[in-house]
Amino acid sequence: MGQPFTTHEVLNQPPPLEDVNLFASDSALKEAVLREGAGGAIDELSAFGGITGSAEAFERGRLANEHPPRLLTHDRQGRRRDTVTFHPAYHALMRTSCEQGLHSSVWSHLATDGGSRRPGAHVARASAFYMAAQMEAGHCCPITMTNAAVPVLLLQPELAEAWVPRILPFRYDPSFAPAADKAAVTFGMGMTEKQGGTDVRAATTRAEPAGAGGAGAEYIITGHKWFMSAPMSDAFLVLAQAPGGLTCFLMPRFLPDGSVNALRFQRLKDKLGNRSNASSEVEFHGAHAWAIGEEGRGVATIIEMVTHTRLDCAVASAGLMRLSLANAIHFAEHRTVFQRKLIDQPLMGQVLADLALDVEAATALSFRLARSFDRAKDARAAAWRRLMTPVTKYWACKIAPPMVAEAMECLGGSGYVEDAPLARLYREVPVNSIWEGSGNVMALDVLRVLQREPEAAAMVMEELALAAADEPRLRFAHERVEGLLQEPALLDLRGRALVESLALLAAGAILKAHAPAAVADAFIATRFAGTPRQTYGQGLERADTRAILERASPHHG
């Protein structure tokens, strides 16, 4: 018992939302996991939900962000160190996620000769990643990059043979040591330079062949990267200009003889959010690296990595929105205003239910996308993956900042201070729409699909037409998207309209088919009504907000 206050009693202050199972308490998530093919993982996901939603895990998340990483450029004798130190909480978070296999579980079949993929592996991993992001989002950066590096490594068999088995163990080893001496390794990625991030072809970093050159050969790299996150990774996939053009390289921290490779970290970025994660500026002073693929094929080679990280951006955004919503509902369930619980105040009910609809939609879209990664051999799934990766990444990441801001406001002043997690979540969310292809870049990627792979777009539109057939407002939305597609000359200017319409149409179709009627009806009524709205809490007068909120409550289920 603490000391009682002499001036007042503490009343009407909701307890923190912690020790909540992030899986068991999330109906939309559980249903998505079952629907999209990962029913076999329910038990392990439920156990992970308990770990990630524990008070201890949330506290680690707080500590890892309050004590951000520090760069040690030199040791006390003035020799180069180029190492980054992290708070123990960060290492604990990494250990939790690596021991769950979030950095490699979808590739576990590679450990056994001819091993087959676990059904629903991407959906199961996405579900755990969605919860890990809620536990703490910054550490998910090296987790996602390591996972996404594997398909690129597989393109160069001798490098894959040396490195993939080191990625696969469900272990975390933070020691600064040669990869061969470690229990497990992680990967980072270096593409962005000062003069251009989106336009990676403008890279000035040079790669000179150490010998004959070519795929798999050793090169000497000189230049820089303006952003290179997770600098304590054991190796990086890096783009540099070889004599034959932009090429993808594997650059290890330690060379095969055990010496430290010539990466010189200049400073760490002082970021808006994502503070537990170190993002460096780095120079390569004749660093050694090995080519993955032929010279000049750099973008084509690294694109597979980016496709995987884009899925994770969408999944993490959905997860962060979910945690914001859960905190807002939890607060409103406990806080009394004018003799009524906040959640029972009609306007607040409208706002919260409206927020819940976007979380439902982002979750449905993200897990539908994850399923297309599991079934990529199927032509329809491959078409969905190609077109809907940029669409889902764009939409889920773009709606997250205003959604989290509104959720923060539901807690009033308590939402704006650092004691509740909302302030940190609010600073965190914008990064997902900036990195791994910013908003316009996603819209341009969709246009690229329309130009180069129109059959993929046609397959998705066909599937959406079928799903929309019984619902006039979805049918109309489908016709609208078809209309946009009929005017290719204007698409350059309407890229964002097209992407947003596609995202809403797909979300509406999935919710109509699978979500409870209260959710699907309210989503369609508000998102396809044609009435302009810029803020939450409008157009739900006829919606069953109680049913939507009961389902979304972290205390339901």
3-state secondary structure of 522: helix
| Residue 238 in the binding site for ligand FAD (CB under 6 A) | no
Residue window 85-124: x/- pattern of binding to ligand FAD, with contact defined by CB under 6 A: ----------------------------------------
Count of H-run helices and E-run strands, the chain: 19, 11
Two tokens, residue 217 = 């050969």
Q: Contact between 494 and ligand FAD (CB under 6 A)? A: no
Closer residue to ligand FAD in complex, CB, 198/451: 198
Quote the CA–CA distance of 288 and 119 in Å, as a whole number. 38
Binding of residue 497 to ligand FAD (CB under 6 A): no
Q: How far apart are CA 261 and CA 248, in angstroms?
A: 17
**Does residue 439 interact with ligand FAD by CB under 6 A?**
yes
Which one among 117, 206, 264, 271 touches ligand FAD, defined by CB under 6 A? 271
CA 261 – CA 481 distance, rounded (Å) = 51
Cα–Cα distance for residue pair 327/57, rounded to 1 Å: 16
310 in Cβ contact with 390 (< 8 Å): yes
- From the number of C-beta atoms within 10 Å of its C-beta (0-12, 13-18, 19+), residue 499 rates as buried
How many residues bind ligand FAD (CB under 6 A)? The answer is 23
Instruction: Name the pairing type of β-strands 245-252 and 187-190.
Output: unpaired
Nearer to ligand FAD, 45 or 278 (CB): 278
Q: Does 438 bind ligand FAD (CB under 6 A)?
A: yes
CA dist., res. 550 & res. 203, Å (int): 52
Among 110, 260, 434, 525, binds ligand FAD (CB under 6 A): 434
- Least distance (Å) from ligand FAD to the CB of residue 557? 34
Q: How far apart are CA 454 and CA 492, in angstroms?
A: 16
Minimum distance from CB of 92 to ligand FAD (Å)?
22
How does strand 218-229 pair with strand 206-209?
Answer: antiparallel
Minimum Å distance from CB 93 to ligand FAD?
17
How near is the Cβ of 309 to ligand FAD at its closest, in Å?
10
Within positions 372 to 391, which residues make up the interface with ligand FAD, using CB under 6 A? none
**Binding to ligand FAD (CB under 6 A): which residues in 201-230?**
227-229
* Residue 205 Cβ vs ligand FAD, minimum distance, rounded to whole Å: 11
Per-position x/- string for 276-295, each x denoting binding to ligand FAD as judged by CB under 6 A, each - no binding? ---x----------------
What angle (nearest 5°) sits at the alpha carbon of residue 412, between those of residues 410 and 320? 45
Q: Which stretch binds ligand FAD (CB under 6 A): 147-155, 196-204, 391-399, 459-467?
A: 196-204
Instruction: Report the C-alpha gap between 123 and 37 in whole angstroms.
Output: 7
Determine if 352 is a binding residue for ligand FAD (CB under 6 A): no
- Give dist(CA 352, CA 317) in Å, integer: 18
Is residue 252 at the binding interface for ligand FAD, with CB under 6 A as the rule? no
Distance between CA 410 and CA 521 in Å, rounded? 24
Q: Output 217 or 434, the one with its CB closest to ligand FAD.
A: 434
State which residue, 191 or 422, has the beta carbon closest to ligand FAD: 191
**Contact mark string toward ligand FAD, 155..194, x via CB under 6 A:** ---------------------------------xxxxx--
Residues 6 or more apart whose Cβ sits within 8 Å of residue 37: 119, 120, 123, 371, 374, 375
Residues in the chain: 557
Question: Contact positions toward ligand FAD, by CB under 6 A?
Answer: 188-192, 196-199, 227-229, 271, 274, 279, 431, 434-435, 438-441, 444
